[in-house]
Structure 1
Amino acid sequence: MLSVTPIPALSDNYIWLLRQDSSPGVCVVDPGEAGPVIDYMERESLTLESILITHHHPDHTGGLEALIKLYSPRVIGPDNPGIEGITDTVGEGDEVRIMGRLFEVFATPGHTLDHISFFAPGIPPLLFCGDTLFCAGCGRLFEGTPEQMHNALNRFAQLPEDTLVFAGHEYTLANLKFASQADPENPAVAQALTECYKARELERPTLPSTIGRELKINPYFRLESDSVRQAAGHKGDNTDPLATFTTLREWKDRF
């Protein structure tokens, strides 16, 4: 069995740790800092065999140098020479085997142009999506276009509903507060807010989410619903979903 454990880092990041059964060799995803990973390795008597990188931002790569120096792991990431230490460059359509599971690589630009995501079919399906998809939200568009992000989210929406979504940040409460404004007639959002408030009060992660849950609560997956269209000011017209997405994303930037 493949287990996935969150290692909190920085102010609100999660570094995801993948472990196969009781093997001491593990993989981590997007180590924004090295200290929490090293502490976990030493506490659990583990060794770091591989690292997955979704994009170049320092809060997802800042721990690479120290981890490479200490463990010499295989580092799998996008084709971006600005990320030092990558040993295996991957992109759209590539496959990599990690901890006994085969992962498909998706190009998911939008948040950044080099952004990739890792999807493992199987039971259950797993999606490591960095800063593309969050619980009840999506990443800010620092480099890409609304169309690129919209396309990436549409691709995720086609994945099996039981796919576990491992995002890079604990942004859920903030996203749900926005969703309550962007999709005010959706009772699933209110229910999710209650559940996630309780989780955070207990200092528990709100992640992973699932694709099925995101289809119900994430306004960027509900662009054609009357509730979202009306909140975006597009009620009664034939606005393309991309236009509604663009309006929502710009609104969220100011929220």
Structure 2
Amino acid sequence: MIQVINIPAFADNYIWLITNEERKFGVIVDPGDAEPVLAELAQRQIEPLALLITHHHRDHVGGIAKLLEVYPHLMVYGPAHETIPHRTHPLQDGDTVELAELKASFQVLDVSGHTAGHIAYYGEESLFCGDTIFGCGCGRVFDGSLDQLHAALQRLAKLPASTLVYCAHEYTIDNIGFAKWVEPDNQDLDLRLEECWQLREAGRATVPFSLGNEFITNPFLRTHIPEVIAKAEKVAGRELQTQAEIFATLRIWKDTEYD
């Protein structure tokens, strides 16, 4: 069984340190900043084996060079179709990352959309998804496309509801605000907001969360729900024919009116 340690960085980023019960070795996901990672490794006396990178944005790759100065043996896994500094293992959809020292493995999923070559790592009942899906939300589209991001979310929605989602930002409470615009009568959102405030007031993260919780609260995974469809059509001012159109309407609405 893996164990995952949360390393906060910048204003709202999370870097993930994957280890196991022995806590002798570890793998780092999306080290945007090396300093907090180095401090955590030293404090816990964990030997890092590799870096798992989801996409090319600076707040996910900015710490790679410094970590390699201290640990030059590190393997750097990252998307094959993006420019990742010091990458040693280019990955694409369907590849597998074997972590023998942790007795764990992860399947690589193409989840392009936020960026054109974004990947996620799925295994051990866990999903490390970078900026593709957040608590009650999803990433903006930068050099990918809305259609790609919708397809990525639909793919993630096919994973088991028990999957723990490790995204890269603490956005849940803010995202719930937008989700309430979409579904003001969704009582699951009210319950989740209360739970999230309790976590934050206790100094804890709202991440990870179960994928099942997203199915009942994340509007970007609920484009088949009549209330969500009705709201999207009201915003668009016309009938929408596909879930992809509904998704795009919600994402653009959030970009232009809420954020």
Q: Which position in structure 1 is the counterpart of 2:94? A: 93
Contact 1:186 1:227 in 2 (8 A): no
**Residues of 2 paired with 1:81 and 1:157: CA distance?**
24
Q: CA RMSD in A?
A: 1.5
Q: Which runs of 5+ in 2 are unaligned?
A: none
- 1:7-156 alignment, distance < 5 Å: 7-72=7-72, 73-80=74-81, 82-98=83-99, 99-120=102-123, 122=124, 125-156=125-156
Give CA-to-partner distance per residue, 1:94-141, whole Å, 9 cap, x none. 011122112100111100012000000x4xx11000000111000000
Q: CA deviation at 1:237?
A: 4.3
**Residues of 2 paired with 1:246 and 1:112: CA distance?**
16
Q: Which runs of 5+ in 1 are unaligned?
A: none
Q: Which position in structure 2 is the counterpart of 1:176? A: 176
**Residues of 1 paired with 2:104 and 2:81: CA distance?**
25
Instruction: Give the residue type in structure 1 aligned to 2:246.
Output: T
Q: CA deviation at 1:80?
A: 4.4
**Residues of 2 paired with 1:201 and 1:147: CA distance?**
37
1:247 aligns with 2:249: yes
Structure 2 length-normalised TM: 0.94
Number of aligned pairs? Answer: 252
Structure 1 residues 81 and 222, CA gap change in structure 2 (3 angstroms):
closer
- SS at 1:56's partner residue? coil
Q: CA deviation at 1:229?
A: 1.6
**Residues of 1 paired with 2:67 and 2:50: CA distance?**
10
- SS at 2:26's partner residue? strand
Q: CA deviation at 1:23?
A: 3.8
Contact 1:110 1:146 in 2 (8 A): yes
- SS at 1:177's partner residue? helix
Contact 1:184 1:227 in 2 (8 A): no
Give CA-to-partner distance per residue, 1:136-169, whole Å, 9 cap, x none. 0000001111110010000110000100000010
Structure 1 length-normalised TM: 0.95
- SS at 2:233's partner residue? coil
